[in-house]
Structure 1
């Protein structure tokens, strides 16, 4: 498998799992109760593409200038922290829910702005930066963007069809386990590179 395909597949998987149960996925559900699903997904895609482009630029720049062993070590620690963050959970505040429900602007514009602001500093942005230090920028950007949009589309579909969220505990523990798994894998790689 080529580096591009590996970067795309790994980034898709990591970000898809990271987004499950995340605050922005809850926002997607909230927007989808007020607007049609397609404009909401277009807004999510625009915001995600921009935020993840910035993320991969930062991560790829760090990867090009820092020794890979130390980057792998920092990435391992970051993924272990993401696992703990995922276990802690994410919720929408009443203010965030109210803004998402009361907006009267265009669905695409409203979703784009809300998701752009929600993703700044979020674990999916930080995970994308981390992935970009290890993989090629384009594959990481493409995989992370598609992974996040797919997870949010799943939330919208399931939420609209069933009227409730996916089982929260299963999602939380599964996502945390995958983060811990990636963290341990990167830690083993870092130790091998530094010794």
Structure 2
């Protein structure tokens, strides 16, 4: 259960102000079928994070015993600092949009996640919880949905109410606290 909750929390927080949230906003403005957008996000995230988690499990075999909590805590702090760098929306009109909400969401989301901080977090979390890789995959996927579904349905309203700069700084502080707590608890 720790793997599920840690993965959910880490990705839901890391996703705040991320380029995939901007992509969700773009897709919601472009397509009326919100269910298809969310289904595309779900499929893309499951595929991307499953591959990332299995990479993390494979990489874990090379991490010396006792280093896990330090690497996980340090990684949380690194992601915290990464959160302070605002993402840009690179979802220009693309040929993918002609295939409809589901395909466009699925393909664009999968591609946007490559090398993203939530993908990196998934690799790290799977390495830390290598005995619970499926919980990591479900946790990161649910965290991604928790952060993006509200944007799909109420994105423009949320942007008027919440400053992205404030959200990124708050997420940064939470990740630093998670990193310190992880290191101290070891």
TM-score for both structures, normalised by structure 1 = 0.85
Corresponding position of 2:80: 83
Corresponding position of 1:24: 20
- Is 1:141 the equivalent of 2:137? yes
* Alignment counterpart, residue 125 of structure 1, candidates 100, 119, 133: 119
Task: Count how many residue pairs are aligned between Structure 1 and Structure 2.
Answer: 183
Aligned equivalents of 1:46, 1:165: Cα separation in 2: 29
* Alignment counterpart, residue 173 of structure 1, candidates 161, 169, 175: 169
Counterparts in 2 of 1:162 and 1:72: CA distance versus 1, 3 Å? closer
Aligned equivalents of 1:37, 1:174: Cα separation in 2: 28
**Cα offset, 1:48, TM superposition:** 0.2
Aligned equivalents of 1:147, 1:162: Cα separation in 2: 18
For structure 1, which runs of at least 5 residues remain unmatched after alignment? none
* SS of equivalent residue, structure 1 residue 88: coil
Aligned equivalents of 2:30, 2:95: Cα separation in 1: 7
Aligned equivalents of 1:22, 1:121: Cα separation in 2: 12
Q: Contact 1:11 / 1:143 at 8 angstroms: preserved in 2?
A: yes
* Alignment counterpart, residue 93 of structure 2, candidates 89, 92, 99: 99
Across the aligned residues of Structure 1 and Structure 2, the Cα RMSD in angstroms comes to 2.1
Aligned equivalents of 2:94, 2:158: Cα separation in 1: 20
Aligned equivalents of 1:98, 1:116: Cα separation in 2: 15
Aligned equivalents of 2:141, 2:70: Cα separation in 1: 25
The correspondence of residues 46-61 of structure 1 with structure 2, limited to 5 A, is 46-61=43-58
Q: Contact 1:7 / 1:140 at 8 angstroms: preserved in 2?
A: yes
